[in-house]
Amino acid sequence: MKTKIHFIVNPIAGKGNNGLSEALLKTYFPETEYSISIKKTAFVLHATALTQASIAEGAEIIVACGGDGTINEVASCLVNTSILLGILPMGSGNGLASNLKIPKNLKKALSVIKIQNVVTIDTGTINGEPFFSNTGVGFDAHVISDFEENTTRQLFSYLKSTLRTLKKYSYQTQLQIKYNGTTELVSPFLLFISNSNEMGYKMSLTPRASLQDGLLDVVIVPKLSRFKLGLFTMLFLFKKHHWLKEVRFQQLTALEIKSLENTTLKAQKDGEFFVPKEPIIKLAIRPKNLNVCVL
Ligand SMILES: Nc1ncnc2c1ncn2[C@@H]1O[C@H](COP(=O)(O)OP(=O)(O)OP(=O)(O)O)[C@@H](O)[C@H]1O
C-alpha cells in the first residue's frame, strides 16, 4: 500500500515564493511508494476545506505548507485523529515550526516528513476553537488587526503595525479574568496565552512554555508608563521581560476572560485576527491530541 501524503499549500504565506514543486516532491516521495497530492489555497479557511477533503480521500499525512495561520486551518481538522500533521515552514514568523525545531530549509523539512518521527502535542482552545501556537486579547490582537491591512506579510510589516498600534492603543477595556478559583479585574496592555515557546522570528513572551506539559502559559502586562513600555520592549527582545515586576506569568489549564462592558473583544488566534462571538472568552488546554512529524 502506498502512503498517502497531501500537501496543503498557502501561496501567499511569507514571501510567497515557496519553491515547492511536484517534481521536487517526487524525488523525496517516489510514486512506487507514495501517493501524493498538492492542493493550493485560494482564500481564508480554504485550507480547512481542503484538509477535510483530504481526510475523506484517506490521506495519512497532511502537510501544512505555510505559517501558523495555515497550520491552524489544517491542524484544526486533525486533532484527536491518527492522521499525522506535517509542516513545511513557509510563513513569515513560523512560530510553531520553530518551537518544534522543524527546519526552514525546504529540503530538510521534507526529510523530516519522510522520516515520520512523531510527537504528540497539546492544543489550546478559545471558545472551543483550536489554537496551536498562541492567542491573545490585548496589544498583540490590535497589532494583528492592523497587520492584516498590509499587502506584505514580513517582519517589516509587523514592525510598522506595532508602531502604528502603539500610537493609537487604548487601555480602556476592563476585563474580569477567572482562573483556579480566583477572580480579578484587569485592564491590561497585554493578555497573551501561549501553548508554544515561540511567537515567530525567534521571539518569545513565554520561553518556559512547552507543547507537551498540559498547560497554557499566560502573560499579563498592565498599563505601563512610556518609560516602562520602552524598557519592557528592550527586555522582551532579549527574553528578559520577566525582570520587570509588572509582568506576571501563570501556567494554567483553563482561563475565562470577560469584558465588563459586555462588548466582544478583539483577539488573535495563531497570528490571525479573530473576533470571538461572545463577550466571554473561555480558554482551555487539550493535552496531547495532535500527532506531528518532527526531527
Ligand atoms: N490564496 C489566498 N489568498 C489570501 N489569503 C490566503 C490565501 N490562502 C490562504 N490565505 C490566508 O493567509 C493567511 C496567512 O497565512 P499564514 O499564517 O500561513 O502565513 P504568514 O502569516 O505569512 O505566516 P506566520 O503566521 O507564520 O507569520 C491565513 O489566514 C490564510 O487563511
What confidence tens digit (pLDDT) does each residue in 8-56 have? 999 999 888 788 999 999 999 999 999 999 999 999 999 999 999 999 9
Distance, CA of 238 to CA of 177 (rounded, Å): 29
pLDDT digit string, tens, across residues 202-250: 999 999 999 999 999 999 999 999 899 999 999 999 999 999 999 999 9
DSSP string, 249-286: EEEESEEEEEETT-PPPPEEETTEEE--SSSEEEEEEE
CATH 3.40.50.10330 intervals, the chain? 3-123
Name all residues whose Cβ lies below 6 A of ligand 1: 10-14, 41-46, 66-70, 73, 91-94, 153, 200, 271-272
For the chain, where are the alpha helices, taking DSSP H only? 22-28, 46-56, 68-75, 95-99, 106-115, 139-147, 155-168, 226-237
Task: Report the alpha-carbon distance of residue 108 to residue 282 in Å, rounded.
Answer: 38
Is it the case that residue 172 has pLDDT exceeding 80? no
Can you tell me which atom of ligand 1 is nearest the CA of 270? 25
Q: Tell me, yes or no, if the pTM score tops 0.90.
A: yes
Beta bridge pairs of residue 88: 65
Superfamily of the domain at 3-123: Probable inorganic polyphosphate/atp-NAD kinase; domain 1 (3.40.50.10330)
Residue nearest (by alpha carbon) to ligand 1 atom 13? 69
Q: Which of 17-21, 62-66, 173-177 has the lowest mean pLDDT?
A: 17-21
Give me the percent of the chain exceeding a pLDDT of 70.
99
Name all contacts of 243-249 with Cβ < 8 Å and 24+ positions apart. 246/221, 246/222, 247/219, 247/220, 247/221, 248/219, 248/220, 248/221, 249/206, 249/208, 249/217, 249/218, 249/219
- CB-based burial, 115-137: b 16+ in 10 Å, e otherwise: eeeeeebbbbbbeeebbbbbbbb
Q: Is the pLDDT of residue 170 over 80?
A: no
* Phi, psi for 84 (deg, rounded to 5): -85, 140
ipTM tops the 0.95 cut:
yes
* CA 46 to ligand 1 center in whole angstroms: 10
The answer to whether 250 and 191 have CB atoms below 8 angstroms apart is no
The mean pLDDT value of the chain amounts to: 94
**What are 250's strand-pairing partners?**
218
At residue 83, the pLDDT reads 98
Which residue ranges does the chain devote to CATH 2.60.200.40?
A: 130-288
Question: What pLDDT is recorded for position 171?
Answer: 66
> Which architecture, in CATH terms, is 130-288?
Sandwich (2.60)
H or E, element range at 37: strand 34-40
Cα of 12 from ligand 1 centre, angstroms: 6
Radius of gyration of the CA atoms of the chain, in A:
19
Whether residue 90 contacts residue 104, with contact meaning beta carbons closer than 8 Å, is answered with no
Our mutation pick for probing the ligand 1 site, out of 7, 9, 10, 146, counting the most ligand atoms within 8 A of Cβ, is 10
Give the contacts of 11 (CB within 8 A, at least 6 positions apart).
Answer: 18, 40, 41
pLDDT digits (tens, 9 = 90+) for 105-116: 999 999 999 999
Q: Which helix (H) or strand (E) holds 34?
A: strand 34-40
